[in-house]
Structure 1
Amino acid sequence: MKRLFPLLTFLAVALISMVMAGFAYFATQEATRIKFEATVDDAISRIETRLDLHLTLLRATQAFFDAHGNHVSRTDFQAFISALDVGVNFPGLRGIGVLRFVRAGDEAVAERAIRQEQGLERKVYPQSEQKWRAPVFLFEPLKPSSDKVIGFDMFAEPVRRAAIEAAMQDDAHHATAPIMLGNNSEVEPYPGFIVFARLKLDAAPVTVDATTPVTQGFLYAAFRANELFQSALRRIPLLPVHVDIYDSSIEARNLIFSSATPAVTGIGRIVDTRRMNVAGRQWILQFQPTTAFSPPSSRVIPVMLGLFGLLSAVAIALVARYKERAYDAAERLHETTEKSLLEKDLMLQEMKHRIKNLITRILAISRQTALRATDVKEFSESFSARLQAMAASQDMLTRSRWQKADLSELLRIELGQVFGKDLPEGLLSGPQVLLNETATQALGLTFHELATNALKYGEAGNSVDALKVDWRVERLDRKRVLVLNWRESGQEDLAEPESTGFGTRFIDMNITRELDGSIDRRFLPSGLQVEIRIPLK
């Protein structure tokens, strides 16, 4: 021991140094995480500000239509959008349009309106089996490359239709899931989304020739996802973040936008996930740092701290070589060894006893199950169920270390694992009593021993009806005392055994020492009666 003491000292000091270095490392990581969260907050603010600006434009357009009694010509609408200079002030916005909402079969009304306002001979397309049609009536800024959007029935497409139907229910804005825009133009399709707002317009009546029909229509704004989010994130100063934006769930098919700048991968990878509600859709934003992100403190500090600790451990170990503490260390080791041997011996005895009882119980269960089973399948199912009950009891004894346990449930589990789950009515009776972890452990072992003995030696081994357990709570000097009676009947020539085994001594130790209670056994001609009294805390 004298030779090992310097080594143990070195290991202890080195361990403490490593723990301190570890704390320093995690503190560095935490500081990095906090700084990155602040950067993410800035990015979120930029994105929200940009989205609010664009949705405010949609609300302003809605107010423009309301102010004109929803009678806005193409010329007025074009002048309104042109004055806003959408291309400069609202990057990412492809344009704002108006949908006519007509019943299927009344497409001629929408086609006539398109011809009057746009000067275009345009059929409503594509073909649809829906009861309603929602063709594009106005769209600005309308370019030669995008004029094919006029007449396109958005209600025929499932993703757009879902957002339109949501907008029909209230006056709020409702966005679509991610879609590819530009399919109706000569440009390359690009990812984006559309936001719809309900709008009352002169629209299709029941007959084509009516002059003042009124029904509902919709305003919509189409957004280019890449241009929209890049314009928000490329403001000076540039943020060292990579962001992936998903709609509803993190799946490849729901990806709306992904930053071009790659994220840092490998050890120490940081991922900050945020959620955002945009026009009735929940977006999930995953942020990761890029190579431009600089941690607030260097990782060299924990390494240096660890090296300094190791050097200190070596110095202390060299000093400890010359200290004379062998006698005290040997004495403590001797006491610890003696105590460990005693605990080991007790544990071995308890283990042997419980294994013996467990085997006896399993054999008894199998014997009872076989007597009542009509075939192998019934035997297997019943036998497996009873073994599972035994396992459930052990699980409850484990859980009782952390929470209050009900006495009735504890008894039912312990008796159930011995006699089977189907215990007769009236076997247990008494008020609800909650036990602390010490009482649960001790009483669980006590009930285990009593039930096992009843199965092996008592009439309860033939019929569980021969067993009755009841309890009550008494008050003694302002303290509560649990009084539990265990009664076995139907036995003949019952006499007190000449010697007590380990199980009996184990029960007495649990009740008297662990719980500061008392136990009284009465071997009557009619059967065994056990009264247990323990104070409740």
Structure 2
Amino acid sequence: MKKFFPIVAFIAVALISLTMAGFAYFATQEAARIKFEATADDALNRIDSRIDLHLSLLRSTQALFNARNGGISRGEFKAFFSALDIDGNFAGLRGIGFLRLVKTGDEVAVERALLHDYGASHVIYPSTTTLSWRTPIVQFEPFDTSSQSSIGYDMFTEPVRREAIEKAMADDQQHASGRVQLGQETGAAQTFTGFLVFVRLNVETAPDGVNASTSSTSGFLYAAFRARDLFQTALSRTPLLPVNIEIYDGKVDANNLLFQSETPPVSTFGEKLVVSREITVAGRPWTILFRPTSAFSQPSSRAIPVMLGLFGLLLAGAIALVARYQERAYDAVSLLHETTEKSLLEKDLMLQEMKHRIKNSITRVLAIARQTASQATDVHEFSSSFSARLQAMAASQDILTRSRWQKADLGDLLRIELGQVFGKELPEGILSGPEVLLDETTTQALGLTFHELATNALKYGEAGNSANNRKGDWALKVDWSVEGRRRDRTLVLNWREAGQKKLEAPVKTGFGTKLIDLNVTRELRGTINRDFHDGGLNVEIRMPLSD
């Protein structure tokens, strides 16, 4: 589990950091949305207040006409309008006019009145209509070249205007028309997108002195608005707002577009910061869309979530590295502790082995001396044979010491160890097997094992007698083989001792036997099986081989 702790720590801290960065990102987006909605509401209030100001002018004009019971001459109306300073105070207002309500067929009386007021002939147009009512323009201010041609125009013949006029007939409220092109009815060269607001004008019809309040609709007052001038004036107040505005008459549709800001919206936010508002202007619903422009700044930097996420990843990496270094330090301490214990065990084992090996060496020297003396005919022959065998033991020990520090061949190791014990050159045939190269650890362990097996064979078996048999008939055979391939190789070694007497398993296990078992099972991670039978002893050693 501790090996995966750095990875787990990195993933945990990274997930927490990324979660915090995600929350920070969404908080930033939410703060931007709230701020922009406040900006959009500010823009909406500016538009609403500007429209209300213009409609208040229409109400004032209505009050003027009501005070005179509709009897306002062209001169009086012009004086009233000139005093308002329309260009300075009511930018976006095209003008204010009065429509006379007459039945179809009674146009002559209206045309006669127009001739009297303007000193020129003005015909009501379009000349023909299938409708019951006509509402020609009889007064309009400011009266200029462009508006002169509009005198006499019957607005009731145009469907969009007629819809608003019919609503104004039903009550005393103001009613806005849909989207219209101002100047289109007069054939003007330049037209403007805008809208009209109508309100009916009632006059008392009862004679003076009669206590009655009978009244009837004599016509309609209306205000004409140029949409672009009106909304640009409303939004030009300082501070300028970083919004792009689209205003639609009714639902959002290209055919209903009244106004669109010249400053394009910024595409960074996409559709996330699109605010939609619906307002009612003179009884007609409008839809307004607000989008941020490049001048809009978020309340907090968008880099904060990114920096928070990067900082969290760096912190997760640092924690993972610290955990990794701690793990390595712990492993190093554990390895040092294990090595120390192993060194102490090896030291103790080495001391025991030195004692045991010295004892065995003395035993072997005495055995060689005794065997040499039994075969020698005189002292000179004994001295010569005994010295030669001692020198062979020393040479074999020196070869074994050198072979333990490099790759050693299994066959050479067996020859050295057996020759060291038995004190003579081994005849051909007692060792058989392929070439097997052993590393340092395996060489040391097997060298001790073979030494102990050979010593036991010398002490207790017939190998010692056969070693002194001049005919070379040995009671010891050692063969080995390798099973498997590459990393799965296994060394199988068979140690066979033959003799005349029956061998039995010892009741008490000596140090030599323990040493053999420790070497094979612990050092070499193998197995050892001993088979004591009537004809002698078979020992099978199986151990894995490294590459």
- TM-score category (smaller protein): 0.5 to 0.7
Distance 2:109 2:53 in 1: 35
Aligned pair 1:229/2:196, yes or no? Answer: no
Contact 2:115/2:122, CA 8 A, preserved across alignment: yes
Give the AA of the match of 1:230: Q
Aligned residue in 2 for 1:209: none
Say which SS state the counterpart of residue 145 (structure 1) adopts.
helix
* Alignment match of 2:274 (pick from 271, 274, 291): 271
Distance 1:4 1:237 in 2: 59
Moved over 6 A (4+): none
**1:351-370 paired onto structure 2 within 5 Å:** none
Structure 1 stretch 168-177 or stretch 293-302: which is displaced more? 293-302
Aligned residue in 1 for 2:133: 132
Distance 2:35 2:216 in 1: 56
Aligned pair 1:165/2:177, yes or no? Answer: no
* Alignment match of 2:240 (pick from 238, 244, 250): 238
Aligned residue in 2 for 1:284: 287
Structure 1 stretch 85-94 or stretch 218-227: which is displaced more? 85-94
Give the superposition deviation at 1:202: 8.9
Aligned pair 1:313/2:312, yes or no? Answer: no
Give the superposition deviation at 1:180: 0.5
Distance 1:3 1:119 in 2: 106
Distance 2:94 2:140 in 1: 10
Kindly tell me: are residues 300 and 186 of structure 1, through their superposed partners in 2, closer, same or farther at Cα, counting changes over 3 Å? Answer: same
Contact 1:147/1:185, CA 8 A, preserved across alignment: no
Distance 2:246 2:313 in 1: 43
Distance 1:132 1:281 in 2: 23
Kindly tell me: are residues 227 and 190 of structure 1, through their superposed partners in 2, closer, same or farther at Cα, counting changes over 3 Å? Answer: same
Aligned length: 315
Give the AA of the match of 2:113: A
Give the superposition deviation at 1:130: 1.1
Give the superposition deviation at 1:314: 1.3
Distance 2:41 2:276 in 1: 11
Distance 2:114 2:153 in 1: 11
Contact 2:242/2:296, CA 8 A, preserved across alignment: yes
Percent of pairs identical after alignment?
Answer: 57
Contact 1:101/1:217, CA 8 A, preserved across alignment: yes
Distance 1:235 1:149 in 2: 33
Distance 1:45 1:214 in 2: 37
Give the superposition deviation at 1:54: 0.2
Give the AA of the match of 1:274: R
Residue-by-residue CA offset, 1:64-106 (whole Å, 9 max, x unaligned) = 0011121111111111101111122110001000001111111
Residue-by-residue CA offset, 1:263-316 (whole Å, 9 max, x unaligned) = 111445511111111001111110111111111111111111101100111122
Distance 2:153 2:11 in 1: 77
Aligned pair 1:196/2:202, yes or no? Answer: no
* Alignment match of 2:300 (pick from 282, 286, 297): 297
Distance 2:85 2:138 in 1: 21
Say which SS state the counterpart of residue 123 (structure 2) adopts.
coil
Aligned residue in 1 for 2:222: 220
Give the AA of the match of 2:194: G
**1:433-472 paired onto structure 2 within 5 Å:** none
Aligned residue in 1 for 2:255: 253
Aligned residue in 1 for 2:156: 155
Distance 2:43 2:217 in 1: 42
- Name stretches of at least 5 consecutive residues in structure 2 with no aligned partner: 206-214, 329-547
Contact 1:145/1:185, CA 8 A, preserved across alignment: no
Distance 1:231 1:185 in 2: 27
Kindly tell me: are residues 201 and 155 of structure 1, through their superposed partners in 2, closer, same or farther at Cα, counting changes over 3 Å? Answer: farther
Distance 1:81 1:48 in 2: 23
Structure 1 stretch 50-59 or stretch 260-269: which is displaced more? 260-269
Say which SS state the counterpart of residue 286 (structure 1) adopts.
strand
Give the superposition deviation at 1:8: 2.9
Distance 1:214 1:29 in 2: 58
Contact 1:124/1:135, CA 8 A, preserved across alignment: yes
Give the superposition deviation at 1:323: 6.2
Contact 1:272/1:287, CA 8 A, preserved across alignment: yes
Contact 2:200/2:217, CA 8 A, preserved across alignment: no
Residue-by-residue CA offset, 1:168-208 (whole Å, 9 max, x unaligned) = 111110001111001216340110000000112599xxxxx
Give the superposition deviation at 1:2: 4.7
